[in-house]
Amino acid sequence: MPRASRPLAEALADRAVLLDGGLSNQLADQGCDLSGGLWSGRVLAERPDQVEAAHAAYARAGAEVLITASYQVGYEAFAARGYDRAGTTALLHRGVALAARAAEAADHEVWVAASVGPYGAVLADGSEYRGRYGLGVRGLAAFHRPRIEALLAAGADVLALETVPDAEEAEALLGVLAGTGAAAWLSYTVAGPRTRAGQPLPEAFALAAGAPEVIAVGVNCCDPADVLPALEAAASVTPKPLVAYPNDGSVWEAATATWHAPAHPAPWPVEAWRATGARLIGGCCRIGPAGIAELAAGTSGGGTGHWRQRG
C-alpha cells in the first residue's frame, strides 16, 4: 500500500491517529548495540536493516505514524566520529527512507514523521531532561536549521519536534520552521505543570498557537500521570489537535545510562486524553509494539478507555 494519501493534519481533523512506540527499546530487543553517544543513530549508521525492521514491527502493531531514527543525529556529534556534512546528511535521508519503506509495506496507510530531537539529545548526557543549555534562541536555531532542512529535503510527511525541554528551544525551532510551509508537531517533555526547564506550560504551548506550520502540540517522554494536566494546559491556549506519547513512567539516569522503572506503572486514561483533544496518541521510551497494539483499539474508538503498561 502507498504511504498515506492525504496530509496528516486532514486526518487529525477526522479522528485520532496512532503513533508508534520507542525506537531504541525495540532496537535493543532486536539485539542491537546502542552503546556510545549516538544511541539509535549508531544503529542507523551501522545496521539500517534493523531500523527498518523496528519500523515494520510497529506498523504491524497498528501504528499509523512511524518516527525516524534521526532523534540523536546531529552534524556536530557525527563530525566528532569522522562523518563529514555530506555523510551526516545522507544518514538523515536514510532514516526517512527506511521509515518510508516500512510504511509502504504496511497493510494500512502510514505517515512518516522525521524526528527532530532537542539539542540536549546530541550531548548524550541527559540534557534533554533539563534544558537551559546556555546557547540562546539564535544558537539553538543555528544548530537545528541544517538538520531540519535535510529532513525536509528527504521527503518526510511531517516533522516531530519532540522531547523539547525548554520553551526557549521551542521558540528557536518555530523560528526555523516559519515560512517553510512544512508540517510539524511540537511536543515538550514535562515535569508536572512545567517544562523540564521550569517554564509554565500554558506559556510554552502558547508559542505554537499562532504557528501555521504546527499541526499539533502536546507532550512526549514524560510520566503518564503528567499527560492529562499538560494537555489541559495546551487546550487552554490553542485549539490545535493535541499529541500525547509518554514513556512508561521510568526515570532516566544519565550517569549510568539506565532507566529506573516505576514499581507500579500507572494506567493511561486514553479516553480522557482524547476528550481533551488528543488526536496523536502513542508511546515513547520503553513502550514497544505490544503496547502499541493494545492502544490501537483505543484510538479506533474501542477499548475501555484505560490502558495499563505491563511488565
Question: What is the pLDDT at residue 2?
Answer: 63
Question: What is the pLDDT at residue 32?
Answer: 95
Report, as an integer, the average pLDDT of 160-186.
Answer: 97
What is the pLDDT confidence band of residue 302, given thresholds at 50, 70 and 90?
A: very low
103 close to 3: Cβ distance less than 8 angstroms: yes
Report, as an integer, the average pLDDT of 99-126.
Answer: 94
Question: What is the pLDDT at residue 298?
Answer: 63
Rounded Cα gap, residues 100 and 34, in angstroms: 22
Question: What is the pLDDT at residue 200?
Answer: 98
Question: What is the pLDDT at residue 304?
Answer: 37
SS3 (DSSP) at 72 = coil
Residue range 257-286, pLDDT digits in tens: 676 677 667 789 999 999 999 999 999 988
Q: Which helix (H) or strand (E) holds 116?
A: strand 111-116
- For 165-298, list the strands marked E by DSSP: 184-188, 190-191, 194-195, 214-220, 242-245, 251-253, 258-260, 267-268, 278-281
Question: What is the pLDDT at residue 284?
Answer: 94
Residue range 127-138, pLDDT digits in tens: 888 888 889 999
What is the pLDDT confidence band of residue 1, given thresholds at 50, 70 and 90?
A: low
Rounded Cα gap, residues 104 and 88, in angstroms: 25
Rounded Cα gap, residues 222 and 97, in angstroms: 28
Question: What is the pLDDT at residue 39?
Answer: 84
Residue range 43-101, pLDDT digits in tens: 999 999 999 999 999 999 999 999 999 999 999 989 988 999 999 999 999 999 999 99
Question: What is the pLDDT at residue 308?
Answer: 53
In 21-60, which positions are buried (b, 16+ CB within 10 angstroms) versus exposed (e)?
bbbbbbbbeeebebeebbbbbbbbbebbebbbbbbbbbbe
What is the pLDDT confidence band of residue 123, given thresholds at 50, 70 and 90?
A: confident
Percent with pLDDT over 70 in the chain: 90
pLDDT at 170 over 80: yes
Question: What is the pLDDT at residue 117?
Answer: 95
Rounded Cα gap, residues 233 and 51, in angstroms: 35
Question: What cell numbers appear for 163 in the block?
Answer: 522531547
Report, as an integer, the average pLDDT of 151-168.
Answer: 97
Calculate the average pLDDT of the chain: 91
What is the pLDDT confidence band of residue 310, given thresholds at 50, 70 and 90?
A: very low
Rounded Cα gap, residues 70 and 146, in angstroms: 13
Rounded Cα gap, residues 278 and 168, in angstroms: 24
pLDDT at 25 over 60: yes
Report, as an integer, the average pLDDT of 8-33.
Answer: 96
Q: Which helix (H) or strand (E) holds 88?
A: helix 85-105
Rounded Cα gap, residues 241 and 12, in angstroms: 7
What is the pLDDT confidence band of residue 8, given thresholds at 50, 70 and 90?
A: very high
Question: What is the pLDDT at residue 83?
Answer: 92
Rounded Cα gap, residues 98 and 48, in angstroms: 7
